[in-house]
């Protein structure tokens, strides 16, 4: 047992010696690499370095160039993504012209009404009566022209088969009934150009007539 214990101690010492040699070799190799990479005139890895008396290494100087000074801005004054602040005019867009109300038209309307009022106030009773008669004559002529046009448009017979078999309800009215008394035929002018048209006819003094009236 004592021999085996002694062999183990020798093996441990031997491996420890090899480890120390390996560490020393790596340290020397690392020092040689640092010396080879160092600039000439300076030594790397030495505790005492030769320096000229009265001279010290100056700190490196950073050239700022033309850097603008930093200015603190209010976050509320930041511009939007488009680059324009709301309320400011867009670049390159002309400002809208101020709309000035046209007073000449208003003055002309006021002048016309005042002129008409003054004209009526200057007219005598005879002149007013003559003007009223002239207006009535023009209205009567217009109505006569409309009646003549209506009579011309309704002068043709009804557009039905065998119009001679129709029974006239009244001689002065363009109103007929078919022989089987199932349809009512009339001639007229429809002023409605587009839209539904519905006509309901019934006999006088009937229930339908009373309900309508």
pLDDT digits (tens, 9 = 90+) for 114-134: 666 677 778 888 888 898 899
What's the CA gap between 189 and 56, in Å, rounded? 119
CA distances from 179 to 97, 163, 165, 176 (A): 76, 11, 7, 9
Degrees (nearest 5) of the Cα angle 137, 140, 145?
A: 125
Q: Which two tokens stand for residue 6?
A: 């002694």
Long-range contact pairs involving 184-189 (C-beta distance under 8 Å, separation at least 24):
185/158, 185/160, 186/158, 187/154, 187/156, 187/158, 188/154, 189/150, 189/153, 189/154
Q: Hey, what are 77's tokens?
A: 């004054």
Closest to 189 in 3D by CA, of 145, 157, 161, 149? 149
CB 179 within 8 A of CB 167: yes
Structure confidence by residue, pLDDT tens digits, 38-63: 555 544 444 444 455 555 555 555 55
At residue 84, the pLDDT reads 56
Sign of CA dihedral 43, 44, 46, 49: positive
Between 136 and 203, the more confident residue is 136
Per-residue pLDDT, 5: 72
Give residue 17's Cα distance to chain centre: 88
Bridge-partner residues for 186, per DSSP? 175
Grouping H, G, I as helix, E, B as strand and the rest as coil, residue 185 is strand
Least confident of 12-16, 30-34, 94-98, 178-182: 94-98
CA–CA dist 64, 17 (Å, integer): 57
User: Sheet holding 167-168: strands in order across?
Assistant: 167-168, 175-177, 184-186
How high is the mean pLDDT of the chain? 70
Mean pLDDT, residues 61-88 taken together = 54
Where in the chain are the domains?
A: 1-38, 106-153, 157-213
For 168-194, what is each residue's pLDDT tens digit?
887 677 788 888 877 888 777 667 777
- Residues 138-146, mean pLDDT to the nearest whole number: 93
What is the rounded CA–CA span in Å between residue 158 and residue 56? 128
Quote the CA–CA distance of 185 and 187 in Å, as a whole number.
7
């Amino acid at each position: 047992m004592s021999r085996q214990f002694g062999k183990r101690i020798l093996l441990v010492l031997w491996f420890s010696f090899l480890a120390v040699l390996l560490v020393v070799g790596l340290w020397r190799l690392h020092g040689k690499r640092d010396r080879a990479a160092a600039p000439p005139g300076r030594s790397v890895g030495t505790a005492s370095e030769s320096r000229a008396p009265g001279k010290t290494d100056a700190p490196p100087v950073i050239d700022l160039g033309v850097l603008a000074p930093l200015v603190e801005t209010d976050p509320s004054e930041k511009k939007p993504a488009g680059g324009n602040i709301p309320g400011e005019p867009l670049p390159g867009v002309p400002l809208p012209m101020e709309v000035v109300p046209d007073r000449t038209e208003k003055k002309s309307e006021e002048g016309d009404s005042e002129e008409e009022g003054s004209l009526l106030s200057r007219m005598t009773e005879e002149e007013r009566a003559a003007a009223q008669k002239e207006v009535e004559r023009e209205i009567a002529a217009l109505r006569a022209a409309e009646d003549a046009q209506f009579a011309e448009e309704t002068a043709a017979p009804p557009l039905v088969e065998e119009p001679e078999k129709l029974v006239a309800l009244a001689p002065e009215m363009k109103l007929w009934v078919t022989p089987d008394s199932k349809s009512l035929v009339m001639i007229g002018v429809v002023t409605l150009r587009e839209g539904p048209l519905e006509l309901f006819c019934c006999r006088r003094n009937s229930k339908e007539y009373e309900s309508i009236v």
